[in-house]
Amino acid sequence: MIYFNQVGYLPDAKKLAITTHHADTFCLCERQTGKMVFEGVLKPFHDGKPDAASGDITYRADFSDFRAAGEYTLHIGNIVSEPFAIQKNAYHNLKIALIRSYYFQRCGCALTAKHAGQFAHACCHHAPAALWDNPSVQIELSGGWHDAGDYGRYVTAAATALAHLLYAFSLFPDRFPDHLNIPESGNGTPDLLNECRYELTWLLKMQRADGGVFHKVSTWRHAPFIMPECDTAPLLAYAVATPATAAFAAITALASRIYAPYDAKFADKLKAAALLSWDFLQEHPEFIAFTNPPGSGTGEYGDSSDRDERFWAAAELFSLTGEKRFLEVFLSLYQEDFSKTALGYAATGGFGALSFYFNPVFAGISLDGKYFVPSAQGEFRNSKILPATQDMHAVRERIRKDFLTAADHCLFLTTQSAYPAAMSEHDYHWGSNMTLMNNGILLILGYLFTGNSDYREAALAQLHYLLGCNALGYSYVTGFGARSCRRPHMRTVFADGIDEPIPGFVSGGPNARPSDEPGRRLIPAGTPPMKCYVDEYGCYSLNEVTIYWNSPAVFVTAFFDEAL
Ligand code: 9MR
Ligand code: ZN
């Protein structure tokens, strides 16, 4: 087989295909005419030694020098690839579908035929939720996105997805159109923001009057594989916890900054909510962890510390208000020992670091030069701007170094990997495609901070892996690529009776230690990590989708797709 990006390549980018088939040369032919347009030498990778993550001995076909747009097939001996495109906007439809996936996850409203086509369905989960430990208290918590293949709505997961999406927007604001065919399309606000607002509007409801934030709203156990409107089990608001409260404060503060130019009233509401949760955190310096009450089976999203969420909240509130009290907490938490580059749901230090790095107080300061552009959203509102002190510059420089160290590690892993991805053989865990895409973000930051195109190329390699240049030759995005996954662990996709999956969903991907029964049964012992994947509905630890696996893919794809 030939492994390559099934969605296609940008004309001027590096273009690689990988094979385990030994031959001397390869060629590229025009799809329509069969005419050979490029010939090259197949190069053994790693001197013919097997690759740790895939177990494969591989050869590389490098056709980077061929730049003409068109549709082609690759030929190695008598093996022929599926056709693929080289074109300028190769990832445009992908970007749109990845964003539109969030519309398909909307909860508490009907999905209409106009916007959802054959995937339309009735309104779901609209009943009020009861406090899980006091059912006489009912709260209206409808709205937001279903988290994943299940119908739960979880605050830390939501904050993470929103962070990837809103940072993508704030760094590349001109890449998000307003014509994605969602209900708000055409209202003059980019649809990414329209879609995120749907989630933020729900998120605001998750805040208690005292500022504490419920960790999640879901049923007691996961629904069977039925459509969401058929899932009428009672909804419950689970306990307040500090990681959720701090992540809430962080994301509402960030959102307040981003939405201000579009809707000042909404921005003010977000800001007030962020401040209220901040006050709750000050009154509760202790870590209030969340664990599922015994017997409850929906997502737990456990965490071992809330320091990094508090760090993130302090950073975003400082970026929003410029107030010293937030800066002080931020600088003190920066000294603590947690990752300052992690962009996940339990480890959020990277978001705090990003916020500080792009803080408007540094506007006009360019450590590297041309790529630091504080966005239109980057202005302090209702506050005085503190002049940046020496300390602040020093921390900012350390943040830059932290990110570059992480990006360099990703670069190193990519050069070591047969299917060039920033993934060591130990990185194939539940949701490995999030690590892959988050590493794509780190590489993009490396590029933005230095202008060194090696980072950019490596970032693109992560997208190539996601879309088929991997040891199984799967494209892990539904509806994209000749061999894309078709049976994601997603209740709607299973229950809707439609053969095609809903397009634009990123599968969790290979997991060397599957937790689900079919995955354990179907993957033989000793299978190399990159091959531990099965495209089956039952494989929740291999083939589920979630809002925070799509979101870093939106970031990476938007970086490579300038089209509107
Ligand atoms: O993405 C989560 C993964 O990192 C964890 O290992 C796993 C087990 O705790 O849970 C995953 O999150 C799931 C969540 O609990 C419920 N919704 C679906 C999520 C993706 O599988
Ligand atoms: Zn719902």
442, 402 contact by CB (below 8 A): no
Q: What confidence tens digit (pLDDT) does each residue in 309-347 have?
A: 999 999 999 999 889 999 999 999 999 999 999 999 999
Mean pLDDT of the chain: 95
Q: What confidence tens digit (pLDDT) does each residue in 470-479 have?
A: 999 999 999 9
| Percent of the chain topping pLDDT 70 | 96
- Does 431 sit in the ligand 1 pocket, CB within 6 Å? yes
The stretch 46-71 carries a mean pLDDT of 96
Ligand 1 atom at shortest distance from the alpha carbon of 344:
4
Nearest-CA residue for ligand 1 atom 21 is: 544
Distance CA 117, CA 359 (A): 41
- Residue 13 Cα to ligand 1 midpoint, Å, equals 34
Nearest-CA residue for ligand 1 atom 13 is: 299
**Tell me, what's the pLDDT at 390?**
87
The stretch 212-217 carries a mean pLDDT of 98
Nearest-CA residue for ligand 1 atom 6 is: 430
- Does 148 sit in the ligand 1 pocket, CB within 6 Å? yes
DSSP class per residue in 285-349: -S-----PPTT--S-----S-SHHHHHHHHHHHHHHH--HHHHHHHHHHHTSSS-SS--SSS--H
Find the ligand nearest to 516 CA: 1
The stretch 210-218 carries a mean pLDDT of 98
**Tell me, what's the pLDDT at 388?**
80
Find the ligand nearest to 126 CA: 2
Give 270's Cβ-side CA count (13 Å radius).
28
**Tell me, what's the pLDDT at 446?**
95
Distance CA 475, CA 224 (A): 27
Q: Which of 51, 56, 147, 150 is catalytic?
A: 150
- Does 546 sit in the ligand 1 pocket, CB within 6 Å? yes
- Does 303 sit in the ligand 1 pocket, CB within 6 Å? no
Residue 22 bears catalytic tag: no
| Percent of the chain topping pLDDT 90 | 91
235-249, 270-284, 316-330: least confidently modelled range: 316-330
Please report which helix (H) or strand (E) contains residue 520, including its range: helix 517-522
Among all chains, which residue has been given the structure tokens 């095609």? 500
In terms of Cβ atoms closer than 10 Å to its own Cβ (0-12, 13-18, 19+), residue 55 is middle
Residue 70 φ/ψ, nearest 5 degrees: 160, -175
- Does 561 sit in the ligand 1 pocket, CB within 6 Å? no
For residue 507, give both structure tokens: 């599968």
**Tell me, what's the pLDDT at 243?**
98
pLDDT band at residue 359, thresholds of 50, 70 and 90? confident
For residue 523, give both structure tokens: 């993957």
Nearest-CA residue for ligand 1 atom 1 is: 431
Q: Which of 191, 199, 402, 544 is catalytic?
A: 544
Distance CA 389, CA 386 (A): 8
- Does 430 sit in the ligand 1 pocket, CB within 6 Å? yes
Residue 563 φ/ψ, nearest 5 degrees: -70, 150
| CA angle at 278 for the pair 282 and 375, rounded to the nearest 5° | 140
- Residue 466 Cα to ligand 1 midpoint, Å, equals 19
Residue 535 bears catalytic tag: yes
Ligand 1 atom at shortest distance from the alpha carbon of 298:
16
Q: What confidence tens digit (pLDDT) does each residue in 368-400 have?
A: 333 333 433 334 333 345 568 889 989 999 999
**Tell me, what's the pLDDT at 75?**
98
Residue 168 CA, chain-centre distance (Å), reads 10
Distance CA 180, CA 103 (A): 10
Report how far apart the first and last C-alpha atoms of the chain are (Å, whole number). 35
56-65, 267-276, 316-325, 480-489: least confidently modelled range: 316-325
- Residue 107 Cα to ligand 2 midpoint, Å, equals 4
The stretch 74-78 carries a mean pLDDT of 96
For residue 32, give both structure tokens: 């329509």
Residue 562 bears catalytic tag: no
- Does 150 sit in the ligand 1 pocket, CB within 6 Å? yes
Distance CA 104, CA 400 (A): 37
The 3-state secondary structure of 449-512 reads: HHCCHHHHHHHHHHHHHHCCCCCCCCECECCCCCCECCCCECHHHHHCCCCCCCCCCECCCCCC
The stretch 84-91 carries a mean pLDDT of 97
- Residue 274 Cα to ligand 2 midpoint, Å, equals 26
**Tell me, what's the pLDDT at 386?**
59
Nearest-CA residue for ligand 1 atom 3 is: 430
Find the ligand nearest to 542 CA: 1
Residue 199 bears catalytic tag: no
Q: What confidence tens digit (pLDDT) does each residue in 453-463 have?
A: 999 999 999 99
- Does 516 sit in the ligand 1 pocket, CB within 6 Å? no
pLDDT band at residue 363, thresholds of 50, 70 and 90? low
Q: Which of 75, 146, 464, 489 is catalytic?
A: 489
- Residue 544 Cα to ligand 2 midpoint, Å, equals 17
The preferred substitution site among 107, 145, 147 for testing ligand 1, maximizing ligand atoms within 8 Å of CB, is 147
